[in-house]
Amino acid sequence: MCGRFAITLPADAMAQLFAAQPANNLPRVPDYNACPTNPVHVVQAGGAGRQLVSMRWGFLPHWYKSESAGPLLINARAETISEKPAFAAAARERRCLIPATGFYEWTKSEAGARLPWFIYRSDAAPIAFAAVWQSWGDADPVKTCAIVTTAANQGLSGIHHRMPLILEPGDWGKWLGEEGHGAARLMQPGAEGVLDYHRVDPAVNSNRAEGPELIEPFGEEDIPRGQLI
């Protein structure tokens, strides 16, 4: 799964990377602790080309009467996304990308303490999460999104059994629907060796924590096998 991430790329650099026109109301960057329900940067495609916009991280199906009317849907499982009523239409018609520098996952120590890890591309390039979006509400519509996840590849399985679906640049157009059908074939665990990780300060366990020190290496890096959360 993916429950927190960091984005340190400036908005103009994101726009250039994805060949997208930036909106005027983008979230602040850098953000070392992007959390569910917060606004995040999203790349979507349309008749006017790619747009870099702000969306609420936390997908709201059209039948929700309020933002808290049901479960907080921050992730959508690739294996069932086309079958779930909340996500099926979005998976067909409203796919998007969420830029990130890296994301966090947690294991547990033998004493039960939550141990955070920061996961990032080995080549230090920005990450592009596959995602879906939904416009929610009638009077003042809010654009909302969820990150698509897959089973973890072997390299990350010692930290968590799920991982975000990470797309390579050559697949961005296919996922965004710019190159016809075939996006479903992209929904599989990423190639081995693309990602790296290290332990980070438990300060990030708080959703109020912020600052570049959150992604810096911290403490021992031995993975406590069998203690995954």
| Residue-wise pLDDT tens digits, 67-122 | 999 999 999 999 999 999 999 999 999 999 999 999 999 999 888 899 999 999 99
- CATH code of the domain covering residue 73: 3.90.1680.10
The answer, yes or no, to whether residue 229 has pLDDT greater than 80, is: no
pTM over 0.75: yes
**pLDDT at 156 (0 to 100):** 93
Q: Which contacts qualify for 140-144: CB closer than 8 Å, 24 or more apart?
A: 142/56, 142/60, 143/42, 143/53, 143/54, 143/55, 143/56, 144/55, 144/56, 144/57, 144/58, 144/59, 144/60
The answer, yes or no, to whether residue 225 has pLDDT greater than 50, is: no
The answer, yes or no, to whether residue 148 has pLDDT greater than 50, is: yes
Asked if residue 186 lies in contact with residue 151, where contact means CB atoms within 8 angstroms, the answer is no
Expressed as residue numbers, the domain containing 133 is 5-101+124-192
Please check whether residue 36 lies inside any domain of the structure: yes
Q: Is the peptide bond before 224 cis (omega within 30 degrees of 0)?
A: no
Please check whether residue 52 lies inside any domain of the structure: yes
The answer, yes or no, to whether residue 223 has pLDDT greater than 60, is: no
Please check whether residue 90 lies inside any domain of the structure: yes
| 130 Cβ neighbours under 8 A, 6+ residues apart | 95, 97, 147, 148, 164, 165, 166, 167, 175, 186, 187
**pLDDT at 191 (0 to 100):** 83
Radius of gyration of the chain measured on its C-alpha atoms = 17
Please check whether residue 96 lies inside any domain of the structure: yes
Name the average pLDDT for the chain: 93
Q: Which of 84-88, 140-144, 164-168, 179-183 has the lowest mean pLDDT?
A: 179-183
For the residues 23-32, what does the mean pLDDT come to?
A: 97
Q: Look at 199 and 221; give whichever has higher pLDDT.
A: 199
Please check whether residue 220 lies inside any domain of the structure: no
Please check whether residue 115 lies inside any domain of the structure: no
Please check whether residue 168 lies inside any domain of the structure: yes
Q: Give the total number of structural domains in the chain.
A: 1
**pLDDT at 227 (0 to 100):** 38
Please check whether residue 106 lies inside any domain of the structure: no
